[in-house]
Chains A and B, each alone.
Chain A
Amino acid sequence: MPGEILVSLLLLVGGGFTLLGSVGLARLPDFFTRMHGPTKATTLGVGAIVLASLAHVGAREDGAGLRELAITLFLFITAPVTAHLLSKAALAEARRRDAAQGAGAGAPPPGE
């Protein structure tokens, strides 16, 4: 029974953070603020759900559960790469738009 409570708690935490990340993605006003929302869904949401699966399945078949940590590890490794590329793409897109509107329109793009 304590295992059940742990699995249920982890599932609810994971589902809640996943929902929260997507609410942030849908509601925040700007692209760079929107990027910050789904990172919670990636790390805490999927992390908690994977931990719940680890506690649920791994308790019965020994050794079968540890593989599931590979998903979390993979997501933790790839999330910064994705965020970096996405922000670079967004900056390039904004710069292209500013160049199309002509020089002097709005603030200069950050960086460079």
Chain B
Amino acid sequence: MLTTFAVPAATGMVALAMALSLWRLVRGPSRPDRILALDTLNVNAIALVMLLDIGLGTAVYFEAALIVAMMGFVGTVALCKFLLSGDIIE
């Protein structure tokens, strides 16, 4: 079983990537840096949910990954709009 090695290895890499994005989120000098770090964290969370799907051998968490993707996009757009105009809904 090759995937018994590959799934934990990929999970470790994605977890390390999330730690690096979290470091940028905490440290980021400007506000767009923090938004970018949050967006990256979101993409990494999608990858992590897909990895959980593969590790368990099911397709149950597919909807969770899709919802994380949609909510992340809406959140990033809202934060960018807030930086641009100081208001989310005009």
Contacts and interface: CB of A to CB of B under 8 A. Distances in A.
Interface of A: 4-5, 7-9, 11-12, 14-16, 18-19, 21-23, 25-26, 31, 34-35, 38, 41-42, 45-46, 49-50, 52-53, 56-57, 61, 64-65, 67-68, 70-71, 74-75, 78, 81-82, 85-86, 88-90, 92-93
Nearest to A7: B3
Summarize B's interface: helix, strand, loop or mixed.
Answer: helix
Interface of B: 1-3, 5-7, 9-14, 16-18, 20-21, 23-24, 30-33, 35-37, 39-40, 43-44, 46-47, 50-51, 53-54, 57-59, 62, 65-66, 69-70, 73, 76-77, 80-81, 83-84
Contact of A4 (B2, B30, B76, B83): B2
Contact of B10 (A14, A64, A70): A14
Contacts of A25: 20-21, 24, 36-37, 40
26 contacts: A7-B6, A8-B2, A9-B6, A11-B10, A11-B54, A15-B9, A18-B13, A18-B44, A19-B13, A21-B40, A34-B36, A38-B21, A38-B39, A41-B44, A45-B43, A49-B10, A49-B51, A50-B50, A52-B54, A53-B53, A57-B53, A57-B59, A81-B77, A85-B77, A88-B80, A89-B80
A90 B62 CA distance: 33
B76 A85 contact: yes
A80 to B, nearest CB: 11
Choose among B17, B18, B31, B46 the residue with the greatest number of A CB atoms under 10 Å from its CB.
B17
A65 B54 CA distance: 11
Given A49-B10, A74-B70, 9 more contacts: A15-B13, A15-B47, A26-B21, A38-B40, A41-B44, A46-B46, A49-B47, A86-B39, A90-B32
A93 B30 contact: yes
